[in-house]
Amino acid sequence: MTKILALTGADAAAEAMRQVHPDVVAAYPITPQTGIVQTYSSFVADGLVDTEMVTVESEHSAMSAVVGAASAGARAMTATSANGLALMWEIVYIAASYRLPIVAPVVNRALSGPINIHCDHSDSMGCRDSGWIQLFSENTQETYDNIIQAVKIGENKDVMLPVMITLDGFIISHVMERVEALEDEEVSKFVGTFTAKYPLLDVDNPVTYGPLDLQDYYFEHKRQQYQAMQNSADVIKNVGKEFGALSGRYYDLLELHKMEDAEFAIIALGSTAGTAKYLVDQMRNEGKKVGMIKIRSFRPFPIEDLRLAVKKLKGLSVLDRSISFGAKGGPVFVEVESALFRTGIDIPVLNYIYGLGGRDITPTEMRISFSDLEKAVKGEKFPAVQFIGLRG
Amino acid sequence: MKEMLEIRWHGRGGQGAKTAADLLAQAAIHQGKFAQGFPEYGPERMGAPMRSYDRISEKPITIHSAVEYPDIVIILDQTLLKNIPVTSGLKKDGIILINSSKDGKEIRELLKTDIGSLFIVDANKISKETIGRELPNTPLIGALIKVTKIMPLEPFLKDLTKKFEKKFSDKIIEGNINAVKRAFEEVKEHVQ
């Protein structure tokens, strides 16, 4: 049974969390994440959930508390944005290395400084090597759907990793949209109950979390983490199919929009992927053979799927909502280029940095990423990195 | 109805442009449509000019940028006409709906354009007489419903009651309902 709800992205996240019904939520408010925790707190206060809500004094403590809870065997969640995620930093790595399937919505916001509360992906991108699975949500519906799937992905015995579900700050967290929600029982059944393999509170089988791990075992543990992340790709696909069978909404590592006969395509993440779809539809009406590739899973990065998706293209543009100072291009661009390197796919790949600190990107502005490609295939040269929507 | 209706609200902080955009989107969604309602978040201050947006469609909406080319602009405060380009990007056959006590000729002079059709309602006066203070947002939705027939009035009023029940007294809710109904009746087109 489907319920149609009008929810903001933040409320959709809180609603998904309510239905998952974690044992512990520890969080500290930060704009634009606040809505999630505020709404979830009211669910706790109203007795709709019996989650242990830990109102900590900082994000460092929030992540520490969920690490403690998950080690003990609880299903634990937190949520944050930007500087909050930065303050969690050392514990973000620890959550992944302890193999704790924590789920954390991250409402994407620009990192300071100068201080800015609006959307870009610099916060999540900073965590791309931390060992967390990272799924980007395009809209409120996907925020809701991804949080439910994240529980099942992270807790899979071949994965056992924390999962970050991103949603664009304000653009998605604060937009009122239509959400098709599942019934509580459907979600409960889908996520099942969590039984930790080595819970800290199992006193009959005592274990230690976080002891000194030097030359003798640290390396092997990292190798296992590497394998877990490799394994997660198939699990994400399978959970996406299972969720599709339940909801009618199927998910994969990538989403392809009008790519069957496309000559040119753009790659985007998050809400911009939706705006790119709108532009592609407009340009299709004008007779242009264009398409869009949405990277839903940034970690693990869908290398093989991407190669398959682009192999017939004449040109590809990559949109980055964050900057990697000193690198060849933005984080998404660098991943894409590396995935295509030495595969025989030798097409122009252009990089556009846009939307830092919440700067809006319109379909009109986005057109340049297609018109440049038409020129690039004719031999015109472009700088390694270009900027959309930048003044001066 | 067009494939997708795009609306831009112009108001000042505290006049309820955000609430209006949310209310309208929510009502549209509850009536089976696809919709978005969102404000343009800046450094919000009471009285500072601000914008909010709605998109309403029979089909899923994928675009997530601010509205560039609105079908409708709604102006909550006539003093904005002096400094804010309220008709920027408005489609040629677009609609301008304004809360004003001025006559159409005077408003057209302030708008400095003949674009679109102009509809006027004195939402300040209506809200003062029904709610007790100047809150032009809900009556403007009443006027919008009349002008665009975007949805029937009754289900919207039910939705408004449900949303306001959590926050406001029966008296305020009743005032808002009367304000919406009166604006629905009183909105007038200015024909050039």
CATH architecture of A3-247: 3-Layer(aba) Sandwich (3.40)
pLDDT band at A258 (very low <50, low <70, confident <90, very high): very high
Say whether A178 and B35 touch across the interface (CB within 8 A).
Answer: yes
Distance CA B192, CA B189 (A): 10
Chain B residues in contact with chain A using a Cβ-Cβ cutoff of 8 Å: 21-22, 25-26, 29-30, 32-39, 41, 61-66, 68
CA dihedral A260, A262, A264, A267 (to 10 degrees): -30
Confidence class for position B42, pLDDT limits 50, 70, 90 = confident
* pLDDT value at B166 more than 90: no
Domain ranges of chain B: 4-190
Distance of alpha carbon A55 from alpha carbon A86, whole angstroms: 18
- Contact list in A for residue B64 (CB cut-off 8 A) is 138-139, 168, 171-172, 175, 271-272, 274-275
Closest-CA residue to A116 (of A65, A154, A170): A170
pLDDT of amino acid A351: 98
Q: What is the pTM of this model?
A: 0.97
Which H or E run contains B45? none
Is residue A350 over pLDDT 90?
A: yes
The answer to whether A248 contacts chain B (CB < 8 Å) is: no
CATH architecture under which domain B4-190 falls: 3-Layer(aba) Sandwich (3.40)
Mean per-residue pLDDT over chain B, rounded: 94
Residue of A nearest to B32 (CA): A4
Over the stretch A166-199, which tens digit does the pLDDT of each residue have? 999 999 999 999 999 999 999 999 999 999 999 9
- Residue A10 confidence (pLDDT): 98
CA distance B141 to B144: 5
Domain-by-domain residue ranges, chain A? 3-247, 254-387
Which helix (H) or strand (E) is A84 found in, with range? helix A82-97
Which three-class secondary structure string do you get for A325-368?
CCCCCCHHHHHHHHHHCCCCCCCCEEEEEECHHHCCCCHHHHCH
Q: Is B70 exposed, middle or buried (0-12, 13-18, 19+ CB in 10 A)?
A: buried
DSSP structural state of residue A159: T
ipTM of model? 0.94
Q: Do A360 and B62 touch (CB under 8 A)?
A: no
Domains A3-247 and A254-387 share a fold: yes
Q: Give me the residues paired with residue A177 across strands.
A: A7, B36
**Which CATH architecture describes the domain A254-387?**
3-Layer(aba) Sandwich (3.40)
